[in-house]
Structure 1
Amino acid sequence: MTDMLKRLLLIVILIACASCDSSQKPARQTSEPASAAQVPVVTVTTVQSHELERVLRLPGELQAWQDVALYARVQGFVDAIPVDRGTIVRKGQLIARLRAPEMGNQRREAEAKAAAAKSQLAEARARMAGVRAQRIEAETRLATDESTYRRMKAASATPGVVAGNDIEVAVGNIEAARTRIQLYRENEKAAQAQVDALTENERALREAAQSITRMEEYLNVVAPFDGVVTERTAHPGSLAAPGGLPLVRVQMVSRLRLLVAVPEAEIAGIRPGTAIPFSLPAFPGDTFSGVVKRSSLALDPKTRTMTVELDVANTSAKMAPGMMPEVLWPTRRSALSLFVPPAAIATTTERTFLVRIRDGQAEWVDVKRGAAMTLDGKDLIEVFGALSAGDVVSIRGTDELREGTRVTVRQPPDKSGRN
């Protein structure tokens, strides 16, 4: 009996010890997670500094280098139009010939009037020359009479050498000569006025005839440059007139203009002389290029874009005005930019921020998003804020990690997947 009680007492003691040991172990296990929960472990990355280089896919439009609608400059009937849509033309080539018979009649009449005026002018000049010759002859005779008078006057100092009547005759000759000279001068002045009037009239009539001749030249419509006819609206027999419909439209397509609307944020990278590639849906797999030449230097207030113009060589005439290419527009910043993974940016209704880890504590830094870029196969996004390259930030932005929270930093796994 005594031995039995001893065995039972030993079993009870062993069971009690086992119960105490099992109750103490969970207490130690729960204390460890409670301590770890107070200091969160945060996977971090660093703010990187790179030159922003990316390619935007922007729509563009090809336009003819020159695009001209040719109108009739004078009224007339279309006599011939030897070109049609798609005809390749050279500068100065006949595009259309108009017919206006009344214009020829007007020219001939104007030329006849100009010829008559020219004849009248010649007669007036001849009359003026005759009057001038009479004046010169009278002036010569006056000089002779005055010389004779002076000799007679000197000789009359000796009595009996010159009769008094001779001196009176000499004086009368001088006065008569002077009167004739004055008359000739007045006649010459009138003749000169008539010549001036006839000269002006002849010039006006001659210019009128020349003007009609030039107008007749407008009956032939010619190509202003090398190009191709893209539209034709006139036909032989139709009436053409200034202000009416154009006869044809001619475009220069050996060179093209490529217009691209560049977003406001990217205009700082526009560099004249840069070759820009583009593709066309009509030629899948082919790549073309144009050279940046000029820009509008003004933003469209509705789209907030600036129109940039590229010159495109098209000697093969493969491309056509009106095509809509996809332009691979390179984007660069003038200075280095800061980048983080997209997931590092946290956004709430009030702010956009990164969680920076400094001295073991979380710190919210307000940022603005910039351009996206892919570098070495990794997606990055440009950020602007009170940051510096090398700053340590949480790789996952969240407002759950409050400012001032102490954290334990953990680096992201490497490419092999190990921590």
Structure 2
Amino acid sequence: MKKLSIFGLILLLAGCQANSKDTDTKKESPSNTNISVKVTQPIEQQPSYTLKLPAELHPYESVDVFAKIKGFVRKINVDVGDQVSKGQILAVLEAPEMDIQSTADRAKSQQLSANFEVSKSRFDRLKKVKNQSSGAVSDLEYEQAYGSMLRDSAALEESNFSYKKSNQMREYLVVRAPFSGIITQRNFSVGALMGDTGMPFFKLVDNNNLKLKVVVPELHAQSISDSTVAKFKVLSKPDTVFTAQLKRNALVIDPVSRSLALEFDVPNKSRALNGGDYTDVQLNLKRKRPTVFVPQSAVVNSQSGIFVLKLVEGNKVERVPVVLGQAQDKLMEVFGDLHPSDQIIEKGSEEINSGQIVQIIK
């Protein structure tokens, strides 16, 4: 009898523990609880939108002007702020040793020219005699005269090249503007020695034409077209809106910044703008193809990421990771595994988990 009582007590305790586990299991599985939600569907559209980005104006051309050869500055014709034309003489150097070398090369050319005239005259005379009277000139004498003329001709040609080189080097004593523009920097004065410092003589920029450089985030790269126009203002003229046409598109996303480099040409003959100005540019863009939009309330931005709650078979919830695009009224452009035929929860919540069953409110 006593054994039966103990056995019954054990069964009673086991039953209580089982009930307790069932209760705990129900408490630990809130995801199985039905939640009522309203659903909607993504839509596809291709709206135009405006993008504002920082930008910078640069001179169309900018170059450091160096003296190609070593020499002393004899004359400077321009200074900072001067407008110059292409080919204009900016400065003149002097190098006496180059004048001496040029004079020596010219004298050598004249001497070799005289030698060539003598050897050529002798060969022509022997050739004439040989043709008129067979045997009057030996073959050896004839060939020696011919060889002498060829040697003198080659020596003269080499000397002429050397003389031309000397004159060409002397031309480098004249520093000219490679293009039309403005002198923005001058680093040497008359009497200074040029050629060894590594410092440019002048800095020349073309401020009549400017380049507006803009870096567009990767997300908007596909919205850029050849007809894209930029509108911008500068601090010095806050009431004036300038426009620029896209001229250069890198076409390749930078792997470090994940952005696309653009350049717009800005005519500036009136000099209303300055190279180096910073500005905020406005781009009117349009996607090349329709993209997906969902209600902004459907997008959940949590610590674990940005996602939209999509319903799959059996009203089961699936979290779909998305990348945000442009906001349009109450809609948000999203990029992810979403299609117009999908059903999504209209008001997303971080508390709704993947795999959870929900009830749709009609």
Classify the TM-score, shorter chain: 0.7 to 0.9
Aligned partners of 1:357 and 1:102: how far apart in 2? 88
After superposing the two structures, state which structure 1 stretch, 248-257 or 88-97, moved more. 248-257
Instruction: Return the match for 1:244 from 198, 203, 209.
Output: 198
TM-score (norm 2): 0.80
Deviation at 1:336, TM superposition (A): 1.2
Deviation at 1:82, TM superposition (A): 1.6
Q: Quick one: which amino acid aligns to residue 358 of structure 2?
A: T
**Aligned twin of 2:334:** 383
**Aligned twin of 2:98:** 103
Deviation at 1:105, TM superposition (A): 2.3
Deviation at 1:316, TM superposition (A): 1.5
**Aligned twin of 1:304:** 258
After superposition, give the CA deviation of every residue in 1:91-126 in whole Å (9 maximum; x if it has no partner).
111100112233222212211111111111111111
Deviation at 1:44, TM superposition (A): 6.2
Relative to structure 1, the CA distance from residue 358 to residue 221 in structure 2 (aligned partners, 3 Å threshold; closer, same or farther) is closer
TM-score (norm 1): 0.70
Percent of residue pairs bearing the same amino acid type: 27
Structure with higher helix content:
1
Contact 1:80 1:96 in 2 (8 A): yes
Aligned partners of 2:269 and 2:291: how far apart in 1? 41
Contact 1:82 1:94 in 2 (8 A): yes
Contact 1:365 1:386 in 2 (8 A): no
- Which aligned pairs between 1:181-260 and structure 2 lie closer than 5 A? 181=137, 183=138, 185-241=139-195, 244-260=198-214
Aligned partners of 1:397 and 1:62: how far apart in 2? 44
Instruction: Return the match for 1:282 from 236, 251, 262.
Output: 236
Aligned partners of 1:192 and 1:272: how far apart in 2? 68
Matched, 1:133 2:86: no
Task: Indicate the SS of the match to 1:285.
Answer: strand
Matched, 1:122 2:117: yes
Relative to structure 1, the CA distance from residue 186 to residue 358 in structure 2 (aligned partners, 3 Å threshold; closer, same or farther) is closer
Aligned partners of 1:208 and 1:244: how far apart in 2? 28
Aligned partners of 2:153 and 2:39: how far apart in 1? 98
Aligned partners of 2:291 and 2:74: how far apart in 1? 68
After superposition, give the CA deviation of every residue in 1:201-252 in whole Å (9 maximum; x if it has no partner).
1112222222212222211111111111111101111111266321101111
Contact 2:325 2:335 in 1 (8 A): no
After superposition, give the CA deviation of every residue in 1:332-381 in whole Å (9 maximum; x if it has no partner).
3222122223222234555654456899968555241321223xxx2421
Deviation at 1:259, TM superposition (A): 1.9
Task: Indicate the SS of the match to 1:298.
Answer: coil
Contact 1:357 1:392 in 2 (8 A): yes
- Which aligned pairs between 1:5-404 and structure 2 lie closer than 5 A? 47-139=42-134, 177=135, 180-181=136-137, 183=138, 185-241=139-195, 244-348=198-302, 352-355=306-309, 363-364=317-318, 366-374=320-328, 378-389=329-340, 393-399=344-350, 403-404=356-357
Structure with higher strand content:
2
Relative to structure 1, the CA distance from residue 215 to residue 354 in structure 2 (aligned partners, 3 Å threshold; closer, same or farther) is closer
Contact 2:216 2:262 in 1 (8 A): yes
Q: Quick one: which amino acid aligns to residue 51 of structure 2?
A: L
After superposing the two structures, state which structure 1 stretch, 109-118 or 307-316, moved more. 307-316
Aligned partners of 2:73 and 2:85: how far apart in 1? 21
Aligned partners of 2:162 and 2:312: how far apart in 1? 92
Relative to structure 1, the CA distance from residue 124 to residue 345 in structure 2 (aligned partners, 3 Å threshold; closer, same or farther) is same
Aligned partners of 1:351 and 1:104: how far apart in 2? 76
Relative to structure 1, the CA distance from residue 98 to residue 383 in structure 2 (aligned partners, 3 Å threshold; closer, same or farther) is same
**Aligned twin of 2:4:** none
Q: CA RMSD in A?
A: 2.9
Q: Quick one: which amino acid aligns to residue 76 of structure 1?
A: G
**Aligned twin of 1:19:** none
Task: Indicate the SS of the match to 1:106.
Answer: helix
Contact 1:121 1:199 in 2 (8 A): yes
Q: Quick one: which amino acid aligns to residue 398 of structure 1?
A: S
Relative to structure 1, the CA distance from residue 134 to residue 316 in structure 2 (aligned partners, 3 Å threshold; closer, same or farther) is same
Contact 2:323 2:336 in 1 (8 A): no
After superposition, give the CA deviation of every residue in 1:155-205 in whole Å (9 maximum; x if it has no partner).
xxxxxxxxxxxxxxxxxxxxxx4xx44x1x321211111111111111122
Aligned residues: 328
Q: Quick one: which amino acid aligns to residue 359 of structure 2?
A: R
Deviation at 1:307, TM superposition (A): 1.6
Q: Quick one: which amino acid aligns to residue 404 of structure 1?
A: I
Aligned partners of 2:69 and 2:313: how far apart in 1? 87
Contact 1:290 1:311 in 2 (8 A): yes
Contact 1:353 1:364 in 2 (8 A): no
